Chains A and B, each alone.
Chain A
Amino acid sequence: MAETYLDSTELVLNMGPQHPSTHGVLRVIVKLDGEKVLGTDCVIGYLHRGVEKIAENRTYTQFAPYVDRMDYVASVSNGLGYCLAVEKLLGVEATPRAQVVRVILTELNRIASHLLWLGTHALDIGAITPLFYCMREREYVLNILEKYCGARLTTHAFRIGGLQYETYEGFEQECLAFCDMFLPKADEYEELLTGNRIWVERMRGVGILSAADCKAYGVTGPMIRAAGEKWDLRKAQPYSGYQNYDFDIPTGEFGDNFDRYLVRMEEMRQSVRIVRQAVAALPAGPIMAKVPKVIKPPVGEVYVSIEAPKGELGYYIVSDGSTQPYRVRVRPPSFVNLQALDKMAKGCLVADLVAIIGTTDIVLGEVDR
C-alpha cells in the first residue's frame, strides 16, 4: 500500500470488452506500472455460442453453416476444413474441379481476411486511410463470393463431397481481373505504411515472440512464420491439391509486430499467385463426388487441419455411426495464438498492447466459438 500520495502502486486496469481495438469482445485485465504493462489476463467467452455442442444435435450436413460463424472473416476456410474432415471420415474425396474451385475461393478469402486485418490494425495504430482502401479492395472479393454462392460473409460455399454451386459465367475472368487489380494496390498499402516512420517506430521491436516460444505456445500461422519458422500446412501436409501450386512461404526475421505485418502482406501476394495458377488449371468435370444423401460415416474419429488465414484450423470429429457427430472439437487458431499475448505484452506500453492484439489477428467469434 502507498504510504503517501507520492508513492506508486500497481494499477489494475480493465480493457474491453467494449474496446474497439480488441476487435470484438475481448476483455483484457492489465496490470500496470505507470504506462508499463506488468502482466495481462484475458477474459473470454462473451461471444460463446456453444458451436461444438450444437454439432452434437445436428446432422453432418446441417452443421456445415455453423462453422462459418466461427471465424466470420474467413468463413470459406472454416467450411473447407469441416468438409475435408467429414470427407476423410467418409473416405471420399472431392472431385478435381471441386478441389480447384475450393482453392481459388479459399485463397481469395485469405486475401479478404488479411485485408480486413490490415485495415483495422492500421486503424488501431492511428493510420485511418488504409482502412478505406482495404475495404474497397475487399469488396471485390466479397462480390465474387456473393455471385458464386449467394452470401458475402457467412458463405456456406462448400458441401461435403464437393460443391453445391457450379461456377458462374465469368468467374475465371473476374478472379484474374481481381488479381491484376490487387497487386498494384498491395504496393500502394506498402507505400503508405512500410516506410512510414510512425508505423515503423510503433511496430519494430514490439511484441517479440521467438520461434521457440511460438512452438511452446502452439502458435501457428503468420505469427510463427514471422519468427522465422517456415511452417505452412499447405506445404507441410498438402490438402485439396495444394501440392500442385508453386508458391513461397514468406518468413520474418525477428518475430515482432513489423515482421508479422510484412509476412501477411507477402502472403496476400502469394495467394494471388496461387489463384492465378488455379484459374489456369481449372479442369472440367463434375463438382460433386458420390456421397450418400444421408451422411452416416462409419464409427471412428478423425483430425484434419488446414492453414486458415490465422493459423492452423483443425477439426476433430468423433463418429458413433449415426447421422449426427458424437463430438466435434475445433482447434481455432485465434484462440491458441491469443495465449501468447501475455508473453508478448510483458514490459511494453499500454499503447503497444493494442498493436500486439492487432497483429495477433484474433477474431472473437473463433476464440469463444
Chain B
Amino acid sequence: MKKLLRKIFLADLLEGLWVTFRNQDPKYIVTEQYPFARPKVGERYRGAPRLNTNPENGETLCISCDLCALACPENLIVVGWERNAQTKRKELVNFTYDTSRCMFCGLCEDACPVDCLELTQDFELANYSRDGAIWDRQMLEEGPKPARYKF
C-alpha cells in the first residue's frame, strides 16, 4: 500500500528534486571564474620549467652537468655548454626545453643536483606557434608572460 502511494505521488522523483533543491545553497558553488580569478595551484605543482639564477648576481645556477637531459624520458632537453679555457669549468651557453613534448613528469627536476631546473606554478603555456613552444635559455630564466587582459 505504501509502495503504491509512493508510486502514485512520485515520491522517488520528488526526493531527488529535494536533493537538487538543497544543493542550490551558494556555499556549494565551486565554479572558478577563470580569466578573472586565477586559481592558486599547489606549491609542488609541476608547470612551466624555469632555470633558476642566483638572486645576488643574476648568474645561472646551472653547472651544465647534463643530468636533466639524461633523465628526461622524451629527450627534449638540450644543454649547450663550452669549457672556459681559463677556469677549466663548463659554462652554460644555451639551454633548450621543448614544452610541446614535455609531459611534466618532474624527472628532470628530481635529477638536478643544484636545484636550478625547476617546474614552477605557472600553468599558462599556450602560444601561437610550434616554435614558440621550444623555450631557450632566456625564456626559461624569465618565465612565461601570459597576457593579462582587462575586462
Let me know if A192 is at the binding interface, CB within 8 A: yes
Residues of B within 8 A of A41 (CB): none
Interface residues on chain B, size class: 20 to 34
Let me know if A322 is at the binding interface, CB within 8 A: no
Q: Interface code A167-187, partner B: CB below 8 Å = 1, 0 otherwise?
A: 010000000000000000000
Let me know if B25 is at the binding interface, CB within 8 A: no
Which of A58, A64, A69, A146 has the most chain B CB atoms inside 10 A of its CB? Answer: A146
Residues in B89-112 with C-beta less than 8 Å from chain A: 103-107, 110
Let me know if A139 is at the binding interface, CB within 8 A: yes
Let me know if A129 is at the binding interface, CB within 8 A: yes
Q: Please state if B42 and A146 are interface contacts (CB–CB under 8 Å).
A: yes
Let me know if A24 is at the binding interface, CB within 8 A: no
Given A147-B42, A195-B12, CB of A136 within 8 Å of CB of B71: no
The CA of A165 and the CA of B73, in the complex, are separated in Å by 20
Q: Please state if A65 and B16 are interface contacts (CB–CB under 8 Å).
A: no
Let me know if A12 is at the binding interface, CB within 8 A: no
Given A150-B119, A195-B15, CB of A65 within 8 Å of CB of B23: no
Residues of B within 8 A of A147 (CB): 42-44
* B138, chain A: closest CB distance, angstroms: 25
Which of A149, A150, A188, A191 has the most chain B CB atoms inside 10 A of its CB? Answer: A150
What residue of chain A has the Cβ atom nearest to residue B119's Cβ? A150
Which of A62, A64, A136, A164 has the most chain B CB atoms inside 10 A of its CB? Answer: A62
- For B19, give its contact among A61, A136, A149, A191 (CB under 8 Å): A191
Residues of A within 8 A of B5 (CB): none
Let me know if B4 is at the binding interface, CB within 8 A: no
- For B43, give its contact among A168, A192, A193, A197 (CB under 8 Å): A168
What residue of chain A has the Cβ atom nearest to residue B103's Cβ? A65
Let me know if B46 is at the binding interface, CB within 8 A: yes
What residue of chain B has the Cβ atom nearest to residue A187's Cβ? B19
- For B106, give its contact among A139, A156, A188 (CB under 8 Å): A156
Let me know if B20 is at the binding interface, CB within 8 A: yes
Residues of B within 8 A of A156 (CB): 105-106
Let me know if A240 is at the binding interface, CB within 8 A: no
Residues in A59-88 with C-beta less than 8 Å from chain B: 61-66, 69
Given A63-B73, A136-B28, A147-B44, CB of A154 within 8 Å of CB of B23: no
Residues in B1-52 with C-beta less than 8 Å from chain A: 7, 12-13, 15-16, 19-20, 23, 28, 30, 41-46
Let me know if A196 is at the binding interface, CB within 8 A: yes
Residues of A within 8 A of B110 (CB): 164
The CA of A192 and the CA of B13, in the complex, are separated in Å by 8
Q: Please state if B107 and A62 are interface contacts (CB–CB under 8 Å).
A: yes
Q: Please state if B46 and A65 are interface contacts (CB–CB under 8 Å).
A: no
The CA of A150 and the CA of B119, in the complex, are separated in Å by 9
Let me know if A242 is at the binding interface, CB within 8 A: no
The CA of A164 and the CA of B110, in the complex, are separated in Å by 8
Q: Please state if B20 and A129 are interface contacts (CB–CB under 8 Å).
A: yes
* B110, chain A: closest CB distance, angstroms: 6
Q: Interface code B72-91, partner A: CB below 8 Å = 1, 0 otherwise?
A: 11000000000000000000
The 5 closest A-B pairs by CB, nearest first: A65-B105, A62-B73, A150-B44, A150-B46, A147-B42
Query: Which B residues form the contact surface with A (CB < 8 A)?
Result: 7, 12-13, 15-16, 19-20, 23, 28, 30, 41-46, 71-73, 103-107, 110, 119
9 contacts between A and B (CB under 8 A): A65-B73, A65-B105, A136-B28, A149-B44, A150-B45, A151-B46, A156-B105, A168-B44, A196-B16
